[in-house]
Amino acid sequence: MKHYIIPFFLTFQGCPHRCIYCDQQAIAGEPTGEVASVMETFLKYHGSEEYSAEIAFFGGTFSLLPLKRQQELLESVVPYIEKGEVRGIRFSTRPDALDEKRLIWYKERFVTHIELGVQSFQKKFLDLLRRGYTPQTARSAVEMVKKSGIGVGIQLMLGFPGQDREMFFKDIDEIRRLKPEDCRLYPLSVISGTPLEKEYQNGGMNFISLETAVDWVADAVEVIEKEGIGIRRIGLPHSPELEEKIIAGLYHPSFADKVRFELLRRSFDKADIRSGQTLSVHPADLQYTYRIARIKKKQVNVVPDSSLRRSTIIIQQ
Ligand code: SF4
């Protein structure tokens, strides 16, 4: 059954300050309208399907919105939950914007998943981004959400100036240890008009290459998926408006595609595939497997198997 996450963009609402790298307008556009109108459109196109869905309040700091506004937003979803059209609510927030009492309140109001914009578990990178919390606050927030019974996701950045592979994998080790339900990995980009742009223009800020980023993230995805942790997204969502505003750092419209291709290429080489074989892969990996087989001039049949983990190739006997 297909699962939909229906996003509502709060576009900076609730944020205590603008983080130096962030431009939600460029990333997600203007705030989304009311829940009722978005649900009407969603049901028009998907209402007759077998599906499950969650409504997600993203692009701001949901848990720092005035309580009355949080209540209004959560309550606006309840009629759809009662009718079975939506199964729960997600939101994104900062690690320093939650407490145990509030988590109980969210759970009673159908919140099923909270995505924490952690960005890094290392002080020097949190300071660079001026996030305003410590690595321990980030770890405790993940543990606290897990303990509440609400699913937790971690947003993690990479490609900070001065970051090397070992430093990046320190953050990946934290993810392995904390075992969130899922995570999002995205490279740091410099968006014009943000305070980070000014720092970048002052000079001395170097970024890793796209090839290096693909290699690091492919290794990280292998490690994370082996732990049974989902990869919710790789890279920033692509939009021509965002692309136009990126002036430095790591950004590629097909970054996720490049990582998935690299992972399948590794599996293909490891399995020593020969022409005439039939391969089973996860349905989302079909396109990559066909592309790699074509490049390597192997005539193979590829069949989808949704029980397989991403990037796995099974040769049918
Ligand atoms: S990164 Fe998150 S907390 Fe910071 S300004 Fe952007 S949406 Fe708000």
Is residue 280 a part of any domain in this protein? yes
Predicted TM-score (pTM) of this structure: 0.92
User: Is there a single domain that holds both residue 139 and residue 101?
Assistant: yes
**pLDDT tens-digit map of 11-28:** 889 999 889 998 877 777
Q: Are 98 and 138 in contact (CB under 8 A)?
A: no
Please spell the DSSP secondary structure of 193-254, one letter per residue. Answer: TSHHHHHHHTS------HHHHHHHHHHHHHHHHHTT-EEEEESPPP-HHHHHHEEEES--TT
| Residue pLDDT, tens place only, 140-151 | 999 999 999 999
Phi, psi of 171 (to 5 degrees): -70, -40
Q: Tell me: do 248 and 287 sit in the same domain.
A: no
Say if 258 falls within a structural domain. no
Residue 309 located in a structural domain: yes
129 CA → ligand 1 middle, Å: 11
State whether 180 and 40 are in the same domain.
Answer: yes
The tokens describing 110, both together, are 């159908």
Cα 93 to middle of ligand 1, angstroms:
8
Mention every residue, 6+ apart, whose C-beta is less than 8 A from residue 253.
238, 243
Distance CA 268, CA 244 (A): 36
Which pair of structure tokens corresponds to residue 102?
């509030």
Q: Which of the four pLDDT bands, split at 50, 70 and 90, describes residue 129?
A: very high
Take atom 6 of ligand 1 and give the residue whose Cα is closest: 22
Is 44 inside any structural domain? yes
Among 285, 253, 289, CA closest to 271? 289
Comparing 192-196, 203-207, 286-290, the range with the smallest average pLDDT is: 203-207
Residues 144 and 188 in one domain: yes
Tokens 């998926």, residue?
225
Boundary residue ending a domain (199, 218, 253): 253
Within a domain: residue 202?
A: yes
| Ligand 1 nearest-atom number relative to CA 117 | 2
Q: How many angstroms does the Cα of residue 105 sit away from the middle of ligand 1?
A: 23
CA 269 to ligand 1 center in whole angstroms: 41
Q: Note whether 129 and 167 are same-domain residues.
A: yes
Is 264 a member of any domain? no
245 and 309 share one domain: no
Evaluate if residue 120 carries a pLDDT over 70: yes
Asked if 243 and 279 sit in the same domain, the reply is no
What burial letters (b/e) apply to 81-118, b meaning 16+ CB within 10 Å?
beeebbebbbbbbbbbbbeeebbeebeebbbbbbbbbb
Structural domain containing residue 204: 2-253
184 with 312, same domain: the answer is: no
How far away, in angstroms, is 163 Cα from ligand 1 center?
22
Ligand 1 centroid, distance to 132 Cα (angstroms)? 12
> Could you tell me the two tokens for 270?
């490891």
Q: What is the pLDDT, as a whole number, of residue 34?
A: 83
- Same-domain check for residues 216 and 295: no
- Residue 239 falls inside a structural domain: yes
pLDDT range class, residue 254, cuts 50, 70, 90: very high
* CATH number of the CATH domain containing 12: 3.20.20.70
Question: pLDDT at position 31, please?
Answer: 64
Residues 168, 65 share a domain:
yes
Q: Which of 253, 282, 301 is the last residue of a domain?
A: 253
Please state the domain count of the chain: 2
Last residue of a domain, one of 253, 280, 301: 253
Same domain, 190 and 282: no
29 shares its domain with 98: yes
Ligand 1 lining (C-beta closer than 6 Å)? 12, 15, 18-19, 22, 24, 59-61, 94, 117
202-226 residue pLDDT tens:
887 888 999 999 999 999 999 999 9
Q: Is residue 261 part of a domain?
A: no
Ligand 1 mutation pick, 24, 25, 98, max ligand atoms within 8 A of CB: 24
Closest residue (by CA) to atom 4 of ligand 1? 19
